[in-house]
Amino acid sequence: MSSLALINELIGLPPNASEHGYQIDHIIEFCHWFMGALFLGWSVFFIYVLLRFRKGKHPVADHEGVKSGISTHLEFAVVLIEAVLLVGFAIPLWAKRVNQFPETKDAILVHAVGQQFNWNFHLPGPDGQFGRREIALVSNSNPLGLDPNDPAGKDDIVVLGELHVPVGRPVIIELSSKDVIHNFALPHMRMAQDAIPGQIIPMWFKPIKTGNYEVVCGQLCGLGHYGMKGMLVVDNPEEYQAWLKERVELSGAQSAPAPTDRPPGEPPVGPTPGTIPPPGAPKTENPTAQPQDKPAAPPASPSPSA
Ligand SMILES: [Cu+2]
C-alpha cells in the first residue's frame, strides 16, 4: 500500500478483500486528496479575503468586483476534474458491477433474504435448483417459506447469519427481503446493494483473501437495525467443500452425483444472474441445467398485499 493510500486507513476503511475493491479504493483515495486540496485552497483564499478586504482598509464596498478571469478558470478546472472522476472512473466501474456478471459456470450462486433483523442464505443444494418459496409458508421453522412439496427444494440449504464462499471464485448473490428495505453491505468486499421486498436484485464480487468478514445492514430498517449483522466466511476450496457437505448432511439431503465440471458436492450451474425478470414474469430456461419442466427460482418476496 502506498503512503498516499493511508488516507483510506485514516478514514476507517477496512482492508480490501475483493478483486475489484482496489479500484474503488483508488477512487476514494483520489477523491479525498482532491477534496483535501480544495479545502486547503479555499481556506487560504478565505483567510486572504478576510485580511485583504477588511473594513479598516476598505471602508466602502466596491461594487465592480473581480476583473481577472482566474477564478473562472479555477472553477472550470474543478468541474473538469470532477467530470472526469464521474464519467471516466465512477460510472464505468459501476456499470461493470451491474452489467458485466461473471460466467455462471465458475460462479457460486446464493440467495440472500433480509428480514428484521437477520440475513437468511438460501443455497440450491446438490441438484443446483432453488426450491420454490412462498411467503404464506413462512414460519419459525421455515424462515424462507420453502415449499415442502417442491422436489427441487428438498435438498436446499438454508442458513441463518453465516455464509461460506470459496476464495478466488465469483460469488453472485441474489437479494430480496421479507419485510422492509434492507441493504446487504460487505465493507471488506466494497459491495453494498439494497434488498427490496418484491424484487430480486443480483450483486457480485470475487473474494481474493480468506477470512471472516462482517455482513451488515446498510439501511436503517427498524429498532433492531444495529444488530442486523451476519458473517461472510471466505474459505479455501477444501474448507468450502467440507462446509457444503456438512450443510447438506444437516439438511438431511441425499447427495446427487456432482457434475463433472464443478468440484464434488457443488451444485451445477444455475440460472443466468442479471437477467432475472421481475416477480410474476415467466422465467427464462436455464440452458445447462438438467431437463426439467420446473421453472427456476421463484420470486421470493412478499407481495405488498401479503
Ligand atoms: Cu436491515
pLDDT in tens, 136-170: 888 888 888 888 888 878 888 888 989 999 999 99
Per-residue pLDDT at 104:
77
Give me ligand 1 centre to Cα 249, in Å: 30
pLDDT in tens, 143-152: 888 888 888 7
Give me ligand 1 centre to Cα 193, in Å: 12
What is the mean predicted confidence (pLDDT) over 19-41? Answer: 89
Q: Is the pLDDT of residue 267 over 70?
A: no
pLDDT in tens, 112-131: 999 988 999 998 887 778 88
Q: How many CA atoms lie within 13 A of 39 on its CB side?
A: 6
Give me ligand 1 centre to Cα 114, in Å: 7
Cα–Cα nearest to 218, from 189, 249, 247, 260: 189
Give me ligand 1 centre to Cα 224, in Å: 8
Give me ligand 1 centre to Cα 115, in Å: 7
Q: Is the pLDDT of residue 207 over 90?
A: yes
Give me ligand 1 centre to Cα 203, in Å: 17
Q: What's the rounded Cα separation, in Å, for the pair 83 and 85?
A: 5
CA geometry: angle at 182 spanning 177 and 184, to 5°?
95
Per-residue pLDDT at 204:
92
Per-residue pLDDT at 297:
45
Per-residue pLDDT at 285:
46
pLDDT in tens, 282-302: 544 444 444 444 444 444 444
Q: Is the pLDDT of residue 233 over 90?
A: yes
Per-residue pLDDT at 55:
86
Mean confidence (pLDDT) of the chain: 81
pLDDT in tens, 40-78: 999 999 999 999 888 888 888 878 877 888 888 988 998
Give me ligand 1 centre to Cα 183, in Å: 6
Give me ligand 1 centre to Cα 269, in Å: 30
Give me ligand 1 centre to Cα 306, in Å: 19
Q: Does the domain formed by 108-250 have CATH 2.60.40.420?
A: yes
Confidence class of residue 305 from pLDDT cuts 50, 70 and 90?
very low
Give me ligand 1 centre to Cα 16, in Å: 23
Per-residue pLDDT at 216:
94
Give me ligand 1 centre to Cα 175, in Å: 12
Q: Is the pLDDT of residue 208 over 50?
A: yes
Of 256 and 171, which is predicted with more confidence?
171
Backbone angles phi, psi at 243, to 5 degrees: -65, -45
Q: Is the pLDDT of residue 223 over 80?
A: yes
Give me ligand 1 centre to Cα 184, in Å: 8
Q: Distance from CA of residue 250 to its chain's centroid? A: 28
Give me ligand 1 centre to Cα 219, in Å: 6
Backbone angles phi, psi at 6, to 5 degrees: -60, -25
Spans of all domains in the chain: 3-99, 108-250
Q: What percent of the chain has pLDDT over 90?
A: 33
Q: What's the rounded Cα separation, in Å, for the pair 273 and 271?
A: 6
Q: What's the rounded Cα separation, in Å, for the pair 150 and 114?
A: 23
Give me ligand 1 centre to Cα 217, in Å: 5
Per-residue pLDDT at 64:
81
Give me ligand 1 centre to Cα 221, in Å: 5
Give me ligand 1 centre to Cα 104, in Å: 28
Q: Is the pLDDT of residue 260 over 70?
A: no
Q: Does the domain formed by 3-99 have CATH 1.10.287.90?
A: yes
Give me ligand 1 centre to Cα 148, in Å: 27
